[in-house]
Chains A and B, each alone.
Chain A
Amino acid sequence: MLLEASAVTKQFGGFRAVSDASISIDEGEIVGLIGPNGAGKSTMFNCLSGDLPPTSGRIVYDGRDVTRASPEAHARLGIGRTFQVPVTFEDMTILENVMVGAFLRHAGRNAAHAAAMDILEMTGLAPIRDRPARSLGTPGRKRLEIARVLATRPRLLLLDEALAGLNANEIASAIQLVRAIHARGITLIVVEHVMEVIMSLAQRVLVFNQGRVIASGAARDVVQDAEVIRAYLGQTQWIAAAPAAAVP
Chain B
Amino acid sequence: MRNASRAAFGWLALAAGAIVYPLVLPGAFYIDVGTTLLLAAATAAAWNIIGGYAGQVSVGHAMFFGAGAYLPLLVYKLWQWPPIAGLPFGIVVSLVLAVLVGMPTFRLQGHYFSMATIAVAELIRLVVATAEPLGAAIGLQGPAVGRGVWDLTFRSGLPYYYLFLALLAMVLATSWWLQRSRLGFYLRSLRASERAARSLGVPVRRCKLLALMLSAAFTSAAGSLYAVKTGFVDPESGLGILVSVQMIIVAALGGAGTLFGPVLGALILIPLQTLTNTYFGGEGSGLTYILYGGAILLIARFEPGGLLDLVYRARGLFAKPAPSSEQSRHAA
Contact = CB atoms under 8 A, between A and B. Distances in A.
Contact of A72 (B191, B192, B201, B326): B201
A14 interface: no
Interface string B184-226: 0110110111011111111110000000000000000000000
The interface size bin for chain B is 20 to 34
Contact of A100 (B180, B185, B195, B203): B185
Interface in B156-206: 180-182, 185-186, 188-189, 191-193, 195-204
A43 to B, nearest CB: 15
Interface string A113-135: 00000000000000110010000
Contact of B182 (A72, A90, A107): A107
B326 A149 contact: no
Contacts of B195: 51, 71, 83, 87
Which of B180, B200, B203 gathers most chain A CB within 10 Å?
B200
**Majority secondary structure of chain B interface residues (helix, strand, loop or mixed):** helix
B185 A87 contact: no
Interface stretch (A74-82, A187-195, A211-219, A227-235): A74-82
Contact of A80 (B181, B185, B193, B199): B199
A84 B198 CA distance: 16
A103 B196 contact: no
B199 A99 contact: no
B175 to A, nearest CB: 15
B330 interface: yes
B198 A91 contact: no
A109 interface: yes
B148 interface: no
B186 A103 contact: yes
A89 B188 contact: yes
B282 interface: no
Contact of B326 (A80, A96, A103, A127): A127
A231 B299 CA distance: 53
A142 interface: no
Interface in A138-153: 148-149, 151-152
A232 B56 CA distance: 45
Contacts of A97: 189
A53 interface: no
B286 interface: no
A131 B323 contact: yes
Contacts of B199: 49, 51, 71-72, 74-75, 80-81, 83, 149
Contacts of A109: 180-182
A100 B200 contact: yes
B155 interface: no
Given A87-B193, A109-B180, A127-B326, A103 B185 contact: yes
A70 B198 CA distance: 8
Interface in B131-160: none
B25 to A, nearest CB: 38
A128 B331 CA distance: 11
Interface string A47-86: 0010100000000000000000011101110001101000
A92 B200 contact: no
Contacts of B181: 109
A96 B201 contact: no
B329 interface: yes
B202 A89 contact: no
A140 to B, nearest CB: 12
A112 interface: yes
* Residue in A72, A88, A96 with the greatest tally of chain B CB atoms within 10 Å: A72
Nearest to A71: B198
B329 A127 contact: yes
Nearest to A90: B192
Interface in B240-265: 257
B5 interface: no
B216 to A, nearest CB: 24
6 contacts: A81-B199, A88-B196, A89-B196, A91-B191, A96-B188, A107-B182
**Minimum-distance CB pairs A-B, first 8:** A75-B201, A127-B330, A89-B192, A87-B196, A104-B201, A71-B198, A100-B189, A103-B182
